[in-house]
Amino acid sequence: MAMDRKPIVSAKEVELLIAQGQPIVIHEGYALQLTQWIDRHPGGRLAILHMVGRDASDEINVYHSARSLQMMKQHRLGRIQEPWKNLEPPIRSPNYRDQISQPKDSCIAAPVTKGTTAPVPGHRSRPSIDIGPLGFLTPPSCTGVNPQPDLIPGGSCSRRIGSVQSADPEKQALLDTPDKISSEGSRIAYATTMEQKEIAEGILDYPSLDEETQQSIRLHYRALHQEIINRGLYQCRYSEYGKESIRYAVLFCAFLYLLLTGWYLTSAIFLGLFWQQIMFTAHDAGHRGITGNFVIDTLIGAFIADFCCGLSIGWWKSSHNVHHLITNMPEHDPDIQNIPLFSNSPTFMKSVFSTFYNFEFVWDGAADFLVPYQKYTYYPVMALARFNLYMLSWLHLLSPRATQLGSAWWTRHVELVFMLFYWAIFGYALVWCTLPDWPTRIGFVMISHMMTMILHVQITLSHWGMPTSDLGPMESFPQRQLRTTMDVDCPAWLDFLHGGLQFQAVHHLFPRLPRHNLREGQFLVREFCEKTNIQYNCYGFVKGNKVVLSRLEEVAKMVEMMVDCQKHMAETGESGLN
């Protein structure tokens, strides 16, 4: 359907095309027909699928250069007559799992259309139980279980997430709904109730989800974006990378000197610090925050991540693009899908189908056993996380997803060559040929890899302690990013240690903003939050860690209580639990 033949389309026509499986995204009042582009999108298919049926003007504008935005005009189907109201993207619908096995020409599943949304925003998959009139579960308590200290007295298997009061009777009714496990609903009922509690808290703590309020937030956000452009904050300060390069060189030379003088395990410390520091620049390149040129920044990122560190920049971009768009959604954000080791959301107790990995994260006995201890295993696992990244990198490069990049097809071949060079140099020449014996080899590998722990803590710090509730398609992009992301407060002289990752909220609002300009951008974001009444979450590094550990402990106690109730019901025969 050419634009010159039909320059204006109605919202109903667009909805019908989406229902027929066409990936249509709204941008600047136009419907973009992306069927021909979705398999050639350098950012991957999923980045588009999560925007289908949405006005993605803000996301598109902050993610793409002026040249890319100009190229998008060729995909315009037509201007939409009336103001667009967001649909729930089909990839987030409960039947998406069944639809992905359809023939290739069916791009997406049928959407959740207007007028069919739940009374409370935040629809989750697997709705296998009845929901009350306000969207909350109200099952009876299961008695006879010894409650945890923070549980409600009286033998009830219920737990309050927080004592929030509201002047709005309807909102207070949501908060006052008891969180109890029913004998029939069991684990899924309990998890759903905890979900709905978080949704109610999100509705209370942040601006209203009505169209007028959210549109006002969008307009302020666009004014903020223009201010950032006017101030020249998208201009990279290359002199800062000159300073960075000196620090990288010092760390690498210290590693080489100590290695050659036989201080093997000490040299491993400096190699690990070199990896930790240089990956910040790979992160910048992955967001095209250095030169702004896709080819040049991709090569910089691949050289650092693949050749110097053995990690696939393609894998990182594949998951990171999705993470930025649907931050902290348990079913969709790969950065928080860590079952059975960790769970920062009650949603995982229901077992969730990952639209990123295309398989179900099953909540099983291993999760019942491990998650209650996650507060204590967090740092040890972060110390060993690099080994998992090796595996994910190779799985990505050997998967079909690495070939579905259209004009960026060549990046996979570059990565494979760089990764092979890394293992030839690090694995063979260094570990096997240079180090004298197995105890030294094992010690060297473990120490060097554990030194990158601070990077892994920094990555998880900004999101694992934040809400995972979905407030529905009406929530604006900037509000969701600020609601699910935490900044870390630190003095300017410590910026080198955090590598820009301490400004994650600012970075999520403006992903292409060069790292060395984020601190200046933070002042503007604070002003934006004051104008829009959106809470800006910023804590010191120690306090931020406490927030994450508290969240992990909170979910762990949910699991402990759930398991205790299941044992009680199994012993008394009140339900047929597995």
pLDDT, residue 136, reads: 29
Residues facing 55 on adjacent strands: 26
Quote the CA–CA distance of 204 and 196 in Å, as a whole number.
Answer: 12
Give the 3-state DSSP-derived string for 504-549, with helices as H, strands as E and coil as C.
Answer: HHHHHHCCCCCHHHHHHHHHHHHHHHHHHCCCCCEEEHHHHHHHHH
The single-letter DSSP state of residue 65 is -
What is the spatial distance between Cα 87 and Cα 82, in angstroms, rounded to a whole number? 15
Distance of alpha carbon 315 from alpha carbon 411, whole angstroms: 11
Cβ count near 108 (within 10 Å): 26
Task: Tell me which amino acid residue 524 is.
Answer: L
Closest CA relative to residue 529, chosen from 205, 51, 55, 289:
205
d(CA 333, CA 185): 26
The H-assigned helical ranges of 77-167 are: 96-99
The Cα 556–Cα 140 span in angstroms is 22
- Position of tokens 């639809």? 99
Give me 218's structure tokens.
Answer: 């969008």
d(CA 88, CA 331): 14
Nearest CA to 299 among 455, 426, 401, 418? 418
- Return the sign of the alpha-carbon dihedral for residues 577, 350, 93, 476: positive
What does each of the 578 residues of the chain score in pLDDT, given as a tens digit?
Answer: 444 455 899 999 999 999 999 999 999 999 999 998 888 888 888 999 999 999 999 999 999 988 889 988 899 999 998 889 999 999 988 766 665 555 444 444 444 444 333 333 333 443 332 222 222 223 333 333 333 333 322 333 333 333 445 455 544 444 444 444 443 357 888 888 889 999 999 999 999 999 999 999 999 999 999 999 999 999 999 999 999 999 999 999 999 999 999 999 999 999 999 999 999 999 999 999 999 888 999 999 999 999 999 999 999 988 999 999 999 999 999 999 999 999 999 999 999 999 999 889 999 889 999 999 999 999 999 999 999 999 999 999 998 877 766 667 888 999 999 999 999 999 999 999 999 999 999 999 999 999 999 899 988 999 999 999 999 999 999 999 999 999 999 999 999 999 999 999 999 999 999 999 999 999 999 999 999 999 999 999 999 999 999 999 999 999 988 887 777 776 676 544 44
Best CA proximity match to 138, nearest among 176, 96, 166, 92: 176
Cα 542 to chain center, whole Å?
22
Residue pair 280/500 in contact by the 8 Å Cβ criterion: yes
Buried b vs exposed e over 147-157: b needs ≥16 C-beta within 10 Å?
A: beeebeeeebb
DSSP 421: H
CA distances from 57 to 259, 355, 546 (A): 52, 23, 36
User: Which residues, including other chains, have CB under 8 Å from residue 119's CB and lie 6 or more apart?
Assistant: 133, 134, 135
CA 497, distance to chain mean position in Å, is 22
| Element at 158 (helix H, strand E) | none
44-65 as b/e: b if 16+ CB within 10 A? bbbbbbbbbbbbbbbbbbbbbe
The Cα–Cα gap between 508 and 345 comes to 21
Structure tokens at 120: 């409370």
Are 515 and 277 in contact by the 8 Å Cβ rule? The answer is no
Burial of 381 (0-12, 13-18, 19+ CB in 10 A): middle
| DSSP annotation string for 316-373 | HHHHHHHHHHSTT-TTT-GGG--TTT--SSGGGGG-EEETTTTEEE---HHHHHHGGG
Which residue carries 């010159």 as its tokens? 4
Rounded distance between C-alpha atoms, residue 23 and residue 540, angstroms: 42
Q: Which of the 8 DSSP states describes residue 88?
A: B
d(CA 477, CA 501): 20
Pairing of strands 24-27, 8-9: unpaired
Q: What letter would DSSP give residue 306?
A: I
pTM: 0.83
Whether the CB-CB separation of 126 and 188 falls below 8 Å is answered with yes
Provide Rg for the chain, Cα atoms. Answer: 25
Please answer whether residues 507 and 513 qualify as being in contact, where contact means their C-beta atoms are separated by less than 8 angstroms: yes
487: CB partners within 8 A, 6+ apart: 462, 502, 503, 504, 505, 506, 522, 536, 537, 538, 539
